[in-house]
Amino acid sequence: MTKSSVDQLVEAGSEYHAGFVTDVESETLRPGLDESVVEYISARKGEPEWLTQWRLQAYAQWQQMREPTWAHVHYPPINFQSISYYSAPKSQTDGPRSLDEVDPELLRTYEKLGIPLHEQAALAGVVADPAAVGTPAGANVAVDVVFDSVSIATTFKETLAEAGVIFCPISEAVHSHPELVQKYLGSVIPQRDNYYAALNSAVFSDGSFVYIPKGVRCPMELSTYFRINERNTGQFERTLIIADEGSHVSYLEGCTAPMRDENQLHAAVVELVALGDAEIKYSTVQNWYPGDENGKGGIYNFVTKRGVCAGPRAKISWTQVETGSAITWKYPSVVLRGDDSVGEFYSVALTNNRQQADTGTKMIHMGKNTKSTIVSKGISAGGSENCYRGLVRISPTAQNARNFTQCDSLLIGDRCGAHTFPYIENKNNSATIEHEASTSKVSDDQLFACQQRGIETEQAVSMIVNGFCKEVFRELPMEFAVEAGKLLEVSLEGAVG
């Protein structure tokens, strides 16, 4: 019996280029979680009393909650007492400082990953290592870098300050802009929104804070780069972006972690607030360590992301390229409160080997003439499970709301699974809701057609998959679209025998 060539592709292990460990001495809190840990984290960051109380309140709520089980993912119970909730490189324990003071060992880490931390180098467009794909790398980009629980450097702060843009670690914003933080923290995702959001609210470590003043177009792309380094730690970052009236910002997030046999938890919260006529474009290239080909190790990526279009004609656009993590549980959503506001979700989720992804979006229409677009591309290879889960809710107040959803699945081989769960709740009969879905396979005929023109198998698969993702890649900022394409290629390496 000859095996079909697609089947042959799906054997063998994957390659993860960001899987190294940085050898820095870290101050890591003993594993375990109780009120004193929450208080310790808050004290470590010198937080004001209101925030300590806010965390403790979240912790109390979390204790009353149960882990959700509705997602189409399977994993052994997580022992929340075996995780350390705070870890920082010792050299950084006094918080972020200027670039010159950052531990050279850390700088080397980011160089290896291709993250331009030196502003001159970044300006000149000198990018360290193109092998480190899935990471933001480009000329006109300001970067905030989070290493385990702390932010270690933020670039281009002065340039941004001239435009009035605030871009800094959230731990710093708590001190420098307490009124903004207090007003908006938890305003989109309340503490008790869900189990992981509550946990994050109690123990969140660091993350980025962005404020774009009225009428300002942010002069450069903003990006945050998250890296988990320390063993047995969780990463609980918190990002808050506020675009004031008529402003505009494009933001990108990238992530990697070393290869480890144990699973590590990443439970982030991202809140976006777009006031009237403001626009936020949020792009994610998620490349957390996915585990090995047998499903050992890898990140549990349990993330809550939501934006609110708070004023008229506001627009929030989520674009995500998800290739990493052992398990992804994530639904970047938009609450369309302002009249004529717009929500978009463009997603590529690729799973290989034993990875599991349950991802999608929620579009909550409340204002009149609100409009949402959902384009989801799921790619499953190996023995992986890929699931789209989406909700479109039209409230009684949302006169003339419109939604368009397109949900496509691509299968590579025949051991993987693709599932689609679109939920529609329509309470207003003036709404227009369109839904399209398709499932296809990378066929032997397509592969052979490429090979017959001299294109080698691996490149053929990646070309076909990239073609499938085109509508989403189009939405990414230029410099990241190229990275995303390369990342797919790397992530598919495991699928090619």
Partner 1 sequence: MSLLDVSDLHASVVTDDQTQPILKGLNLAVAAGEVHAIMGPNGSGKSTLANVLSGRPGYQVDNGAATLDGTGLLELEPYERAQLGVFLAFPYPVEIPGVSNMEFLKASIDSLARARGDAQPNTAQFIRQVRELASSLDLDPAFLKRGVNEGFSGGEKKRNEIMQLLLLDPKLAVLDETDSGLDIDALKVVAAGVNRFRNASNGVVLITHYQRLLDYIVPDFVHVLSNGRIIESGDKNLALELEAKGYAWLT
The residues of the shown chain that bind partner 1, judged by CB under 8 A, are: 1-2, 4-5, 443-446, 448-457, 459, 463-464, 466-471
Residues 431 and 371: their CA atoms lie apart, in Å, by: 10
Residues 20 and 26: their CA atoms lie apart, in Å, by: 16
Is the CB of residue 305 less than 8 Å from the CB of residue 317?
Answer: no
Q: Which is nearer to partner 1, 23 or 445 (CB)?
A: 445
Residues 169 and 153: their CA atoms lie apart, in Å, by: 9
Is the CB of residue 75 less than 8 Å from the CB of residue 263?
Answer: yes
Q: How far is the CB of 496 from partner 1 (least distance, A)?
A: 13
Residues 79 and 75: their CA atoms lie apart, in Å, by: 12
Q: How far is the CB of 302 from partner 1 (least distance, A)?
A: 31
Q: Which is nearer to partner 1, 270 or 476 (CB)?
A: 476
Place of tokens 């949402």: 372
Q: Which is nearer to partner 1, 74 or 453 (CB)?
A: 453
Residues 469 and 346: their CA atoms lie apart, in Å, by: 10
Is the CB of residue 446 less than 8 Å from the CB of residue 464?
Answer: yes
Q: How far is the CB of 446 from partner 1 (least distance, A)?
A: 5
Q: Which is nearer to partner 1, 2 or 429 (CB)?
A: 2
Per DSSP bridges, beta strands 402-411 and 371-380 are parallel
Q: How far is the CB of 443 from partner 1 (least distance, A)?
A: 7
Is the CB of residue 220 less than 8 Å from the CB of residue 154?
Answer: no
Number of other residues whose CB lies within 10 A of the CB of residue 372: 26
Q: Which is nearer to partner 1, 93 or 459 (CB)?
A: 459
Q: Which is nearer to partner 1, 159 or 446 (CB)?
A: 446
Q: Which is nearer to partner 1, 51 or 463 (CB)?
A: 463
Q: Which is nearer to partner 1, 372 or 462 (CB)?
A: 462
The structure tokens listed for 492 are 């598919």
Is the CB of residue 349 less than 8 Å from the CB of residue 380?
Answer: no
Per DSSP bridges, beta strands 402-411 and 342-351 are unpaired
Q: Which is nearer to partner 1, 6 or 188 (CB)?
A: 6
Is the CB of residue 477 less than 8 Å from the CB of residue 250?
Answer: yes
Q: Which is nearer to partner 1, 415 or 474 (CB)?
A: 474
Is the CB of residue 457 less than 8 Å from the CB of residue 495?
Answer: no
Is the CB of residue 143 less than 8 Å from the CB of residue 116?
Answer: yes
Residues 481 and 469: their CA atoms lie apart, in Å, by: 11
Q: How far is the CB of 65 from partner 1 (least distance, A)?
A: 42
Q: How far is the CB of 410 from partner 1 (least distance, A)?
A: 10
Q: How far is the CB of 411 from partner 1 (least distance, A)?
A: 15
Q: How far is the CB of 379 from partner 1 (least distance, A)?
A: 12
Number of other residues whose CB lies within 10 A of the CB of residue 77: 6
Sequence-ordered list of residues with C-beta below 8 angstroms from that of 493, at least 6 positions apart, any chain: 14, 15, 458
Q: How far is the CB of 456 from partner 1 (least distance, A)?
A: 5
Q: How far is the CB of 6 from partner 1 (least distance, A)?
A: 9
